[in-house]
Structure 1
Amino acid sequence: MNKRKASLAAAAAGVVAGAAGLSLLAMPAGAGQPPSLPDVSPESLVEQVLTSKPGAFGGTVEVDNQLGLPAIAEIPQLADGKHSARVWTDGAGKVRLALPNGQSEQTIVSDGTTTWSWNSVTNKVTKAEGKTEQPEEAKAIDPATAAKEIVGLTKEFSDISVDGTARVANRAAYELVLTPKASEKTLVREVRIAVDSELKMPLRVAVLTNGTAEPAGTVGFREINVGPQDPKLFEFTPPANAEVTTPEAEKGERGERPEAGLEQALRGENPQVFGSGWDLVVGARIPADAMTQVPAEAQGLVDRFTKKVSGGWGSGQLFTTKIATVLIADDGRVVAGAVPEQVLFDTIGQVK
């Protein structure tokens, strides 16, 4: 299995945004007049995106969901609207995130060898030892990571152009545009990536879908402070009376829950990948015991936001947003992608 393809399948299928948490897409337009910059070729901007290695900075990243979903009390972050996070990095592997959620906040701190995650409501701390990559939460709100994955996997299947300039977080940027070729079967009309003219790093990624004028989702910087950050930001001491646990212990707890198999399948941890480019589809099979033991509350959410469908492939439930479609068959097969439903109907028979 190609891990890189699988990661984009999860990213591009923003459901996989829906099922896993937050989609990777969404962001506010830059303010002010477009800056005057020297001409640059699309090929040059593509290379900058693919080789981007951001240095030290601190800033606020904003995610703007416009997927067409109503507010869901149980999953507030999936509702349309803007959500923000603070991020700091030393450019050499250390990172700090502050992720607000209503009255609570999750803080994640990594010094490159130990990663701490603290929930202010539960006062629970997870400590992961050993050299770590960028935390998954940081990847989810990082325009550079999103842009690199999208460009790397779709540039062969896209018409690529430069559509002028923009200001993002008060910085001058070029607008790189990837438009799926006419042969691609996708819900996506185009992806716009604002590339900083000086830093050569993506500042914003916006995804537009067929039949809409505004982005279905965007992720990008609202403000950014480039340069060395306070070293103390990358230190963490658990608060008094906090419960400290490990990822292994948490994984064990998740494994005991009957819905764990369902979550694993939808999160794309063991995906099967079909096709390539914009009409790439990720598939999985939910274990039979998970299908029969899904809690009533979780099943109720599925029933509220899906429609029943059937065909030569069998029967199941279809979940749609502006940017992605998910098909869950009654026998446990699941397929998802940034594609029309017919593509999923044609693909699900290949899931093993």
Structure 2
Amino acid sequence: MNPKKRAITVAAAGTALGVAGLGLIAMPAGAGSEPQLPEISAEELVESAVSAEHPAFGGTVRVDNQLGLPALPGMDSLEMDAAEVHSNGRDASRLGVRDGNAERTIVQNGNTVWTYDSAENSAKKVTLPGEADRERDRLPREGELSGDPTELTATVLEQVRETSTVAVDGTATVADRAAYELVLTPQPTERTLLREVRVAVDADTRMPLRLAVHTHGTTEPALQVGFSDISFGPQPAELFQFSPPAGATVTEENATERRAGGKEHAEQAKEATDIRVVGDGWDTTLVGSVPAEMLNQQARFGDDEGRADADRRDGRPADVRGLLQQFGKQVTGSFGTGYVITTKVGTALITEDGRFAAGFVPEQVLIQALER
């Protein structure tokens, strides 16, 4: 078992398997001995981590994913070798993710965002309206990729800070940088599968260098993201320029279309109804419903024409209901009958009539959320 490089199962069987997208995190190399640093309070470290203006930098993020996802038929197991991340510290950034021999690239410069997939030789240009920073924060990343532990840390702190016990737990060396270890632990009233979240914050820049998610009953992180190497300083301007390669298919969208995910994704989103949030903090649960007939549709894991891949065991197309029966555990209650799919960090439940619940919580919390 190589702790620095793992296969990432790409799984998205509609809302039913949405729990599979609960995280994509990385295990950095370059961790070392504990440096000696001045004492700092947890509150001061949190505030500086979320508010500090980070300088220009370039670095590499590596992946360790121990979610324990099922090997679903028709889904590729992609091996992410590395993600290269660059920022000019102001209004431009670049993210390159290599999956085997292919690479996906996102280049943002001011109001313009380019995404490029080398496997398909296709590029997409998105032009943002005014107030680029605000709009950029709302802009979905291509493939929901994020190579910046800073973004992940900000999201985590926003979600669970008020329902956590926060402490500074020593120091660490990450990517040859001295860092403080910030630990967020659920308060006793929180019902969650997660034991703690640890963030390594650079001592000089206060930029998060590593974020690790630990679950109960394990010693190693279930999910982790961080830099294996990083250097601070001006980055070459050409990194933030992009020109589509010869022969590439190029499309353009405005920010509204991009945020909606295009017409196809917008139509799919309309199928989900009554989506609401139950609870808060660590035991937040997303509850909603989809038309029951969607459960009988073939899962679209195939080519661009939407043909489903064949089930590897008997050659039949894979449908969502069939996947639930194969990989989920059947449960019954006052909500009816449904199927539960569990990973190390989260759980999803979908009923036969199309209701669903998902969160970083045990099965019973989802059942209670559906019964409300």
TM-score range, shorter chain: 0.7 to 0.9
Alignment correspondent of 1:174: 180
Q: Return the letter of the residue paired with 1:314.
A: G
Q: Return the letter of the residue paired with 2:285.
A: V
Partner Cα separation in structure 1 for residue 77 and residue 70 of structure 2:
10
Partner Cα separation in structure 1 for residue 338 and residue 76 of structure 2:
23
Would the aligned equivalents of 2:19 and 2:358 in 1 still touch at CA under 8 Å?
no
Alignment correspondent of 1:76: 77
1:246 matched to 2:223: no
- CA shift for structure 1 position 254: 4.4
Would the aligned equivalents of 2:94 and 2:106 in 1 still touch at CA under 8 Å?
yes
Alignment correspondent of 2:369: 347
SS in 1 for 2:371: helix
Alignment correspondent of 2:108: 110
Would the aligned equivalents of 2:340 and 2:349 in 1 still touch at CA under 8 Å?
yes
Would the aligned equivalents of 1:26 and 1:207 in 2 still touch at CA under 8 Å?
no
SS in 2 for 1:133: helix
Kindly provide the CA deviation profile for residues 176-235 of structure 1, in whole angstroms up to 9, marking residues without a partner as x. 111111111111111111010000111111010011111000011111111111111111
Q: Return the letter of the residue paired with 1:196.
A: D
List alignment gaps of at least 5 residues for structure 2.
1-16, 300-316
Would the aligned equivalents of 2:67 and 2:345 in 1 still touch at CA under 8 Å?
yes
Give the % identical residues: 44
- CA shift for structure 1 position 253: 4.2
Would the aligned equivalents of 1:59 and 1:87 in 2 still touch at CA under 8 Å?
yes
1:290 corresponds, among 277, 291, 294, to 294
- CA shift for structure 1 position 17: 5.6
Q: Return the letter of the residue paired with 2:50.
A: L
SS in 2 for 1:229: coil
SS in 1 for 2:348: strand
Partner Cα separation in structure 1 for residue 349 and residue 177 of structure 2:
41
- CA shift for structure 1 position 28: 3.3
Q: Return the letter of the residue paired with 2:215.
A: T
1:273 matched to 2:273: no
Cα 1:255/1:114, change in 2 over 3 Å: same
SS in 2 for 1:67: coil
Cα 1:277/1:255, change in 2 over 3 Å: closer
Alignment correspondent of 1:133: 136
Would the aligned equivalents of 2:28 and 2:61 in 1 still touch at CA under 8 Å?
no
Alignment of 1:195-344 (within 5 A): 195-247=201-253, 248=257, 251-254=262-265, 260-261=268-269, 271-295=275-299, 296-299=317-320, 300-344=322-366
Kindly provide the CA deviation profile for residues 78-104 of structure 1, in whole angstroms up to 9, marking residues without a partner as x. xxx865211111111211111111221
TM-score w.r.t. length of structure 2: 0.80
SS in 1 for 2:136: coil
SS in 1 for 2:210: strand
Q: Which moved more, 1:185-194 or 1:151-160?
A: 151-160
Cα 1:270/1:194, change in 2 over 3 Å: farther
Would the aligned equivalents of 1:64 and 1:83 in 2 still touch at CA under 8 Å?
no
Cα 1:346/1:29, change in 2 over 3 Å: farther
Q: Return the letter of the residue paired with 1:61.
A: V
Cα RMSD, aligned residues only: 2.5
Cα 1:105/1:162, change in 2 over 3 Å: same
Cα 1:163/1:30, change in 2 over 3 Å: farther
Q: Return the letter of the residue paired with 1:348.
A: L
- CA shift for structure 1 position 261: 4.8
Would the aligned equivalents of 1:112 and 1:133 in 2 still touch at CA under 8 Å?
no
Alignment correspondent of 1:8: none
Would the aligned equivalents of 1:168 and 1:204 in 2 still touch at CA under 8 Å?
yes
Cα 1:68/1:224, change in 2 over 3 Å: same
1:156 corresponds, among 157, 162, 165, to 162
Would the aligned equivalents of 2:19 and 2:348 in 1 still touch at CA under 8 Å?
no
Cα 1:271/1:100, change in 2 over 3 Å: farther
Partner Cα separation in structure 2 for residue 173 and residue 270 of structure 1:
43
Aligned length: 324
Alignment of 1:21-40 (within 5 A): 23-28=23-28, 30-40=30-40
1:49 matched to 2:42: no
Cα 1:26/1:341, change in 2 over 3 Å: farther
Partner Cα separation in structure 2 for residue 206 and residue 270 of structure 1:
33
SS in 2 for 1:140: coil
- CA shift for structure 1 position 288: 4.2
